[in-house]
Structures are given as C-alpha cells and as structure tokens.
Amino acid sequence: MRRLQKRELVFLAVGALFLATMGVAWAVEGLVLEPMAKLERQIAARERDKALLVELVGRYRELAAKHRAFQLRLGREGGEPFLALLDRIIAQSQMQGQLDTLRPQGTTDLGGILETSVEVKFSRVALHQALELLRRFSIGDVVVSIKRLSLERRYEDRQLLDLSLVLASYRAAEAR
C-alpha cells in the first residue's frame, strides 16, 4: 500500500472529523432532543387535560349548587296543590276574566321527582299582563317551569294577544 501524502491525510482527517461530528450530532438528536420533544408534547397534552379538568370541576360545582338549590326548593314546598297555586297566581295577576281553559295534563314520575303538567290558555291579554304572569311563576317557592309558550296576536285587536302555556310543577316523590 502506498503512503498517503500530507495533503491527502489532511483531507482524510477532515472527512473523518466531519463524519464523527455528524455521528455525535445524530446521537445527540436521537438520544436527547427527540425524547425532550416527546416529553414537551406530553406536557402540553397534560396541560390541556388539566385545563379541561379545571373547567369541568367549575361546571360540576355550578351544577351541584343548582341541584342543591332545586332540592331545597322541592323540600320547602307547602301542601298547596298545583292547580290551587295556579288559581292564586292568576287571581293575583287579575287575569281570571281572560282565562279560557285550565286543563291538567297528568303527573309523570321522573325518578324521585314528580312532574305535574297543566295547559293554560288566555285570550285578549296585553303584553304587560303576560309578562307579569310569567314573572309571578318564576318568583314563587314552588318549582314551576314553562314547558311550552305560545303568543299570538288577536285578529280583532292587534294590541291584544292569545297566550297558551304548558306549565309543569315539580315535587319530591314520597319514599315507598
């Protein structure tokens, strides 16, 4: 084998140094940088999960507070029947003359809570009267929800409305 000249040895040394440098860089990237990037992705995913968990905890607390308030309202309800309550609210709103029908729809068991529905129809009602009636339903101690609401203008007098409601009352079911 022939001896290499100094210039060839320098080129070989530079090439070997370049290959060694590339090998070390590849090893550093493979052994250090890729695992670090993977860890950063995992940390970002866990941060997103943590933010979602914090949001869900807040929503749970809000719903739990609403549930406790609902249970408290159910527990406070007096013995007044739902139809008697509706009659009282209609009388307080001075809308007996506009009441067309008051028809019970029945009671449904919703798993520990009884829902009693009533269809109520009024005719020739002014808008402020309808709003006052709805306000009275929302401020009482009894849990009343409006399942359906329909307002239609009268043909004879465009200032008056026909109001149709399906109301539901909720109360705790008796333990069996």
What is the spatial distance between Cα 141 and Cα 149, in angstroms, rounded to a whole number? 21
Q: What is residue 28's predicted lDDT score, i.e. its pLDDT? A: 77
Q: 26 or 79, which is more confident?
A: 26
Q: 149 or 137, which is more confident?
A: 149
Q: What is residue 119's predicted lDDT score, i.e. its pLDDT? A: 93
pLDDT in tens, 56-95: 999 998 888 877 776 666 655 556 677 887 888 888 888 8
Q: 77 or 114, which is more confident?
A: 114
What is the spatial distance between Cα 120 and Cα 134, in angstroms, rounded to a whole number? 12
Q: What is residue 77's predicted lDDT score, i.e. its pLDDT? A: 56
pTM over 0.85: no
